[in-house]
Chains A and B, each alone.
Chain A
Amino acid sequence: MAIAPLTVAVPLLAAGALTAVAPWVNRPIAEVVALGAALAATALSIALLVQAGDGLDIYWFGGWTPRHGIALGVSFAVDSFGAGLAALVAALMVAALIVMWRYRDTDAPHFQVLMLVFLSGMLGFCLSGDLFDMFVFFELMSVAAFALAGFKVEEEAVEGSLNFAVTNTIGSFLILTGIALVYGRTGALNLAQVGGALVGGPSDGLVVVAFALLACGFLVKAAVVPFHFWLADAYAVAPTPVCLLFAGAMSELGVYAVGRLWFDAFAPALGSHADALRAVLIVAGSLTAVVGAVMCFAQDHVKRLLAFATIAYVGLFLIGLGLLTPVGLAGAAIYIVSDGLGKAGLFASVGIVQHRLRHVSEARLRGLGRDLPFTGLLFLAGALSFASLPPFGTFLGKSLIEDGLSSAGYEWVVPILVLTSVLTSAAVLRVAAGAFLGWGTAVPRRVSALDESGSEEDAPRGRTPPSMYLPALAMILGALAVGTIPGIAESVQGAAARFADGHGYAAAVLNGTTPARPGTLPYSTAGHAYAYAAVTGLGAVAMAALALFGNRGRGSAGARLADLGERALAPLRAVHSGRVGDYVAWLVSGVAALGGALALALHPI
């Protein structure tokens, strides 16, 4: 049962040890130690996942078990969602460390130390059952992330990292204010205890505003619109192994936190307003998905393109979470895992492109990649994963969410899901076809000023080292494999029912009773899910073809359409100005709007 603390403690100890011997340790040793710690963390998280099964494992630190229903110490409350997310994070860290094997300048062992601390922060965040403890691990993860994003100091990574740091710090202030409000009312910090205490009192302005502020703070990290501006800037400048982690592991943690907070701390008191909350979350998610997808399609810089795709998918995760039913939650969970692996694989492939072709700007890459068929296939597989085609795991996740939306009466959101997949997949197809096949006669609409003309890797230019393509391949195959595991939809729905069971959670944490096994419903993908997938696939190919061949010549219909699109898009592009003052202004307005909507939904005046 001591697995849970070791999962977090092992990377931290390794980080401390590496720094203590820093002047005497050389780079291979640092890499081996870091990789060993990450592998250990992965093994431990998988053990936690297996052990948690359908129930909830509680670990009280310092041996302080609750007395008279008051939690004295800090607890880790591990269910399969938390453990599963932890396992995904740790596995992606292993992949990132392998990709980093040949990285040119890691200032060893400091880069590895920061990665290990980043890992611990994320793992502790997934496993924690205490509100303030979640905040501490959230900050641990964020501080390491700020430093990692700004790592490439010689290439103007400063601005991206600055935007990242300022906006996320304001998010953490929102979280702290929410914690102070909760503590002022309930005198408790443990999630289960808070849930019980809030039921006893009035559900007035304080409770809903606390939830609104906490949710907004976590959604800043998740990059939901309009808190999303920092993400594209940070991804554009961070080193590739770090981007891999940001996209696959860090971006969904904010959505997970909102879910955890709602079900375990606030739903017992506010559950009667769940329908209104559903509406707000689904609208916010849809807006994020559309903005992300449109901006993704309009990008030239490939890393920014994938960053906006990440934002779009966070919108879809939020829609899945917002359904507040086991079907929606299960869909979101499967989507998070398979899409996380797919995106990470794509980022690793971009790393290969950057190493071999020395560019990340789509316009400059045209035709350069004809000697890299294998990397082209990786890109194609990533695009298929984005399009949620069977048998990728994204197909299963999306069809679960679509089913949830139909049964909740939100059928109008399904076209938004399709549109998001179409645009993001088409963008990747367009890049792949242009770079690896040399297709495309379109005059570039917009060439990014920000390009990276040097390689990050310390390897001969003519070859891709195995440390780069093996992780990419493994992750894309993982995205594929998730969808093929038999019975996965049923078992994840069971886990989702556990995640959504606030009362069972409280009983397990405070009284030590084992929660009842949730029943699992059999699931088979409906026929129309395949129809949606077919539409998405065809749509993606059509959009990509349009983008590549559509606007040859100035006067053609395609060119006029592109002009119209560009003009319509101009205000949206202008808003993404790169200036931190603008981002903070949007953040404040976003908190007022989204926070106000959340508060009013849960407490109608």
Chain B
Amino acid sequence: MTFLPYAVSAWLFLVGLFGVVRSRNLIHLVVCLSVVQASTYVLLLAVGYRHGGAAPIFADVPLGSRTVDPVVATLTLTDVVVEATVVALLLALAVQAHKRFGTLDPDQLGAMRG
């Protein structure tokens, strides 16, 4: 259990990249990229976890009790927003690719050779 979350994160990273490399559809490629994103969320949150720690929200948790790390929560929040916006842009590009080239296959777009 001690390193399982980290292993999961590494697995997600690699499997997402595998999907990107093998992809035959731009939408599928973008979703695979979001799988790779997910690995960063898992890693950040796993790094900051503390056994028996409560959420760092002192609305009803008494002050001074053991909490998980609040900084990684902020980092993950920022990360989620940032990556979601990149996905939005990539999807817009995919829509345009479909309009211009009539296909969503990344291997068929090629005008950029050499």
Q: Are A450 and B112 in contact (CB under 8 A)?
A: yes
Cα(A143)–Cα(B93), bound, Å: 13
Contacts A176-B79, A184-B47, A449-B111; is A161 near B106 (CB within 8 Å)? Answer: no
Q: Is A425 an interface residue (CB 8 A)?
A: no
Q: Are B40 and A233 in contact (CB under 8 A)?
A: no
How many Å from the CB of B19 to the closest CB on chain A? 10
Q: Is B27 an interface residue (CB 8 A)?
A: no
Q: Looking across the interface, which residue of chain A has its beta carbon closest to that of B36? A: A173
Q: Are B111 and A159 in contact (CB under 8 A)?
A: yes
Q: Is B96 an interface residue (CB 8 A)?
A: yes
Contacts A177-B43, A189-B71; is A169 near B21 (CB within 8 Å)? Answer: no
Q: Are A165 and B86 in contact (CB under 8 A)?
A: yes
Q: Looking across the interface, which residue of chain B has its beta carbon closest to that of A304? A: B114
Cα(A176)–Cα(B44), bound, Å: 9
Q: Looking at the complex, which one of A136, A147, A177, A184 makes contact with B13 (CB distance below 8 Å)?
A: A177
Contact residues of A between 179 and 195, Cβ < 8 Å to B = 179-180, 183-184, 189
CB-CB < 8 A to B72: which residues of A? 183
Q: Are B82 and A146 in contact (CB under 8 A)?
A: no
Q: Are B40 and A165 in contact (CB under 8 A)?
A: no
Cα(A159)–Cα(B100), bound, Å: 10
Cα(A170)–Cα(B71), bound, Å: 23
Q: Looking at the complex, which one of B20, B97, B107, B114 makes contact with A584 (CB distance below 8 Å)?
A: B20
Contact residues of B between 16 and 31, Cβ < 8 Å to A = 17, 20-23, 26, 29
Size class of the contact patch on chain A:
35 or more
Q: Looking across the interface, which residue of chain B has its beta carbon closest to that of A234? A: B112
Size class of the contact patch on chain B:
35 or more
Cα(A168)–Cα(B17), bound, Å: 13
Q: Are B112 and A573 in contact (CB under 8 A)?
A: no
Contact with B along A248-270 (1 / 0, CB 8 A): 00000000000000000000000
CB-CB < 8 A to A176: which residues of B? 40, 43-44, 79
Cα(A162)–Cα(B95), bound, Å: 11
Contacts A176-B79, A177-B40, A581-B106; is A588 near B112 (CB within 8 Å)? Answer: no
How many Å from the CB of A167 to the closest CB on chain B? 10
Q: Is B90 an interface residue (CB 8 A)?
A: yes
Q: Looking at the complex, which one of A166, A184, A576, A585 makes contact with B114 (CB distance below 8 Å)?
A: A576
Q: Are A580 and B97 in contact (CB under 8 A)?
A: no
How many Å from the CB of A130 to the closest CB on chain B? 12
CB-CB < 8 A to A236: which residues of B? 112
User: SS class of chain A's interface: helix, strand, loop or mixed?
Assistant: helix
CB-CB < 8 A to B43: which residues of A? 176-177, 180
Q: Is B51 an interface residue (CB 8 A)?
A: no
How many Å from the CB of B88 to the closest CB on chain A? 9
Contact with A along B32-45 (1 / 0, CB 8 A): 01001101100110
How many Å from the CB of B111 to the closest CB on chain A? 5
Q: Looking across the interface, which residue of chain A has its beta carbon closest to that of B43? A: A180
Q: Is B2 an interface residue (CB 8 A)?
A: no
Q: Are A580 and B29 in contact (CB under 8 A)?
A: yes
Q: Looking across the interface, which residue of chain A has its beta carbon closest to that of B18? A: A588
Q: Is B55 an interface residue (CB 8 A)?
A: no
How many Å from the CB of B52 to the closest CB on chain A? 19
Contacts A136-B82, A573-B113, A573-B114; is A162 near B17 (CB within 8 Å)? Answer: no
Q: Is A139 an interface residue (CB 8 A)?
A: yes
Which has the most chain A C-beta neighbours within 10 Å: B29, B48, B89? B89
CB-CB < 8 A to A125: which residues of B? none
Q: Are A162 and B93 in contact (CB under 8 A)?
A: yes
CB-CB < 8 A to B111: which residues of A? 156, 159, 449-450, 578
Which has the most chain A C-beta neighbours within 10 Å: B75, B78, B82, B112? B112
Q: Are A180 and B47 in contact (CB under 8 A)?
A: yes
CB-CB < 8 A to B110: which residues of A? 159, 577-579
How many Å from the CB of B101 to the closest CB on chain A? 8
Contacts A170-B36, A578-B110, A578-B111; is A158 near B97 (CB within 8 Å)? Answer: yes
Q: Looking across the interface, which residue of chain B has its beta carbon closest to that of A159? A: B109
Q: Looking across the interface, which residue of chain A has its beta carbon closest to that of B40? A: A176
Residues of chain A having any CB pair with chain B under 8 Å = 132, 136, 139, 142-143, 146-147, 150, 153, 156, 158-163, 165-166, 169-170, 173, 176-177, 179-180, 183-184, 189, 232-233, 236, 298-299, 304, 446, 448-450, 573, 576-581, 584-585, 588
Given contacts A146-B89, A158-B93, A576-B112, 13 further A-B contacts (CB under 8 A): A139-B86, A142-B86, A143-B85, A156-B101, A158-B96, A159-B97, A165-B89, A180-B40, A180-B47, A183-B44, A236-B112, A449-B111, A581-B21
**What are 26 A-B interface contacts by the 8 Å CB criterion?**
A143-B85, A150-B96, A158-B93, A159-B109, A162-B97, A165-B89, A166-B33, A170-B33, A173-B13, A173-B37, A173-B40, A176-B43, A176-B44, A179-B75, A183-B48, A183-B71, A184-B47, A236-B112, A448-B114, A450-B112, A577-B110, A577-B112, A578-B111, A579-B106, A579-B107, A588-B21
Top-5 shortest CB links A-B: A578-B112, A184-B47, A578-B110, A176-B40, A180-B43
